[in-house]
Amino acid sequence: MTETKKGVSRRDFLKTTGIAAGTLVGGGLIGGLVGYNAKKGNSNVATAPADNEHDADINRGLMFFTKRHDFEVLSQATERIFPEDELGPGAIGLGVPYFIDNQLAGNYGSNAREYMQGPFYEGGPTQGYQTRLTRAELFMNGIQTMDQEANKRFGKSFADIEGEQMDEILTDLQKDSIKMKGVSSAFFFKLLRSATLEGAYADPIYNGNVNMEGWKMKGFPGHQMSYINQIEDEKFHKIDPKSISIMQH
């Protein structure tokens, strides 16, 4: 289901082949890699298109990021925030990085329904979002910051460092002890965390919460027409979740 469950994860593959992740442009190599995994009988891969035309999810792709490397940094950061465990998939397995990419390409990324007129001032802690950066700019800024921090501290890209090392950087972002341009790192971290949870639990129509696995873990039934016949029951109801998309087909 997730990268770590594959025979060889993309990260492991990149490490062992010695190809710098940043040189990966486009889907060619990734496609080949996933095809390799699929042939091993692990076809349930949520994060990348397969090489086989029939298996490929051609409705999914990057709308915002232009460099696979930036997407990879984002993916690893979200996975540390919401990791795979015995309960089920983590952020990558749930398609969270695609969810975020797709959102950044739209109203969310351009703050289309928010007040973005100047003048801009830093503002006090109770005054909220005051940066002139849009979320799209903020994410790019944050991703580059995480990567620079990883290079500075560990001599490698954020996507290639160990989990604990990623946590160290994320913790410092959260604690606001890393400098970012135009915004505080704590603010970026908060945004990253919120976006990760949104991608894990939004209706699957937004390209996260793959196969409703987020809802299944949490016991949330998604779109149900009515609970009028269960509301008075003492016992807990485990209900197969439904997506709002069933109302549209």
Partner 1 sequence: MAKTLDKVDVVTVGVGWTGGIIAAECAKAGMKVRGLERGQNRGTEDYSLVHDEYRYAIRYELMQDLSKETITFRNNVKQRALPMRQMGSFLLGEGLGGAGTHWNGMTYRFFPYDFQIKTETEKKYGKNKLSSDYLIQDWGITYDELEPYYDRFEKTMGLSGEDTNPFWGKRSSDFPTPPMKKMPLLKKFEKATKDLGYHPYMVPSANLSEPYENPDGSQLNACQYCGFCERFGCEYGAKASPEVTVIPAAQKTGNYDIIFNANVVEILTKGNKTTGVRYIDTQTGEEVIQPADVVVLTSYMMNNAKLLMVSNIGDQYDPETGKGTLGRNYCYQIEPGATGFFDEQMNTFMGAGALGMTIDDFNADNFDHSDLDFIHGASISFVQSGSRPIGTNPVPSDVPLWGAEFKKASIENFTRTLDVFGQGASMPHKHNYLSLDPTYKDKYGVPLLQMTYNFTEQDRNLHKFITKKTVEVMEKMGAKKTEGGGPLAEYDIVPYQSTHNTGGTSMGNDPNTSVVNTYLQHWDVENLFVVGAGNFNHNSGYNPTATVGALAYRTAEGIQKYRQKGGSLV
**Residues at the contact surface with partner 1, assessed by CB under 8 A:** 80-83, 85, 87, 90, 107-108, 111-117, 119, 121, 123-130, 167, 170, 174, 193, 196-198, 200-203, 205-206, 214-215, 217-228, 230-234, 236-237, 244, 247-248
Q: Toward partner 1, which CB reaches closer, 53 or 234? A: 234
Distance CA 173, CA 108 (A): 22
Q: Toward partner 1, which CB reaches closer, 53 or 164? A: 164
Distance CA 78, CA 93 (A): 11
- Shortest distance in whole angstroms from residue 143 CB to partner 1: 17
Question: Residue 34: which residues within 8 A CB-CB, separation 6 or more?
Answer: 45, 48, 49, 50, 51
- Shortest distance in whole angstroms from residue 57 CB to partner 1: 20
Q: Toward partner 1, which CB reaches closer, 31 or 221? A: 221
- Shortest distance in whole angstroms from residue 43 CB to partner 1: 26
Q: What are phi and psi of 242, to 5 degrees?
A: -130, 145
Q: Toward partner 1, which CB reaches closer, 16 or 117? A: 117
- Shortest distance in whole angstroms from residue 158 CB to partner 1: 16
- Shortest distance in whole angstroms from residue 236 CB to partner 1: 4
- Shortest distance in whole angstroms from residue 6 CB to partner 1: 20
Q: Toward partner 1, which CB reaches closer, 39 or 237? A: 237
Q: Toward partner 1, which CB reaches closer, 45 or 91? A: 91
